[in-house]
């Protein structure tokens, strides 16, 4: 009840939850993987000839360690390649906070979402972003999805799910063929079609999830388990792939290349 009477307290509680759920895990595991960078290099999990999108690795000096620590703690970027999927956590942190205050001060959800979409388009077209924090088009685009999710839960969660799921499957399939892109590689001209396809795809997934939730069985239990351990999967899956690859190389006596 206190939070309803005291809007500033609601904001503090919301931001505190986001920091604990997103900032703390990002910093904790990014620093942990950073600590073992040179160890991973000697184990050939990293090397100086091959890397993601041509970005190879090298042994860090103490200065490099210090610079990356600052980037991780204060800028929420610069994490190790093995934590490449962690790009999502800072964007979700920024988007949720921006979305929270947009919803709070722009009373019309549709107007607020349109403003964020407009900012995403402008920032993408002019390649604008806040230095160091790297808040830019991707952040505003992420905020669009945060706000549409809030809007869907508030107003449209009771839609008839059957015919919509079929329609959304068609839209997502068509979008995947006609204007393929992703959150990390979208261009200005693909923001609008991607937004439509992504929102439809999200609702489609929710509709399928509602159906699965009504059934009992191993599929439901497995998905619940995976869902409860999403951050664990996000943290360790690349390293696990690397270890399996090294085991295969050893067992079949393959070249390290």
User: Structural domain of residue 13, as residue ranges?
Assistant: 2-81
Do 110 and 208 reside in the same domain of the chain? yes
Q: Are residues 114 and 190 in the same domain?
A: yes
Burial annotation 89-124 (CB, 10 A radius, 16+ → b, else e)? bbbbbbbbbbbbebbeebeebeebbebbbebbbebb
Asked if 100 and 11 count as a contact pair (C-beta separation under 8 A), the reply is yes
pTM: 0.90
Confidence at residue 255, expressed as pLDDT on a 0 to 100 scale: 87
Digit-by-digit pLDDT tens for the chain (257 residues) are 444 557 788 999 999 999 999 999 999 999 999 999 999 999 989 989 887 778 889 999 999 999 999 999 999 999 999 999 999 999 999 999 999 999 999 989 999 999 999 999 999 999 999 999 999 999 999 999 999 999 888 877 766 567 778 889 999 999 999 989 999 999 999 999 999 999 999 988 888 888 888 888 899 999 999 999 999 999 999 999 999 999 999 999 998 87
* 163 and 206 assigned to the same domain: yes
Residues 75 and 130 in one domain: no
Total count of domains within the chain: 2
Kindly state whether residues 132 and 33 are assigned to the same domain.
no
Of the candidates 156, 56, 150, 23, the residue with the CA atom closest to the CA atom of residue 99? 150
Residue 96 inside a domain? The answer is no
């Amino acid at each position: 009840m206190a939070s309803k009477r005291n809007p500033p307290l609601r904001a503090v509680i919301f931001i505190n939850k986001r920091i604990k759920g997103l900032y703390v895990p990002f910093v904790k595991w990014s620093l942990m993987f950073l600590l073992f960078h040179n160890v991973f290099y000697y184990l050939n999990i990293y090397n100086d000839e091959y890397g993601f999108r041509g970005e190879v690795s090298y042994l860090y000096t103490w200065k490099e360690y210090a610079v990356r620590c600052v980037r991780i703690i204060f800028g929420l970027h610069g994490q190790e390649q093995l934590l490449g999927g962690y790009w999502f956590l800072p964007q979700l942190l920024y988007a949720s906070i921006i979305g929270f205050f947009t919803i709070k001060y722009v009373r019309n959800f549709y107007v607020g979402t349109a403003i964020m979409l407009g900012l995403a388009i402008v920032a993408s077209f002019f390649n604008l972003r806040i230095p160091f924090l790297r808040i830019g088009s991707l952040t505003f685009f992420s905020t669009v999805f945060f706000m549409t999710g809030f809007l869907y839960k508030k107003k449209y969660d009771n839609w008839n799910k059957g015919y919509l799921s079929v329609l959304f499957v068609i839209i997502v399939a068509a979008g995947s063929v006609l204007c393929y892109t992703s959150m990390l590689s979208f261009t200005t001209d693909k923001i609008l079609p991607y937004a439509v396809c992504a929102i439809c795809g999200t609702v489609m997934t929710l509709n399928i999830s509602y159906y699965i939730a009504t059934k009992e069985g191993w599929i439901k239990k497995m998905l619940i388990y995976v869902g409860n351990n999403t951050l664990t999967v996000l943290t360790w899956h690349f390293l696990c792939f690397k270890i399996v690859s090294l085991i295969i190389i050893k067992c079949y006596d393959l070249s390290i290349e």
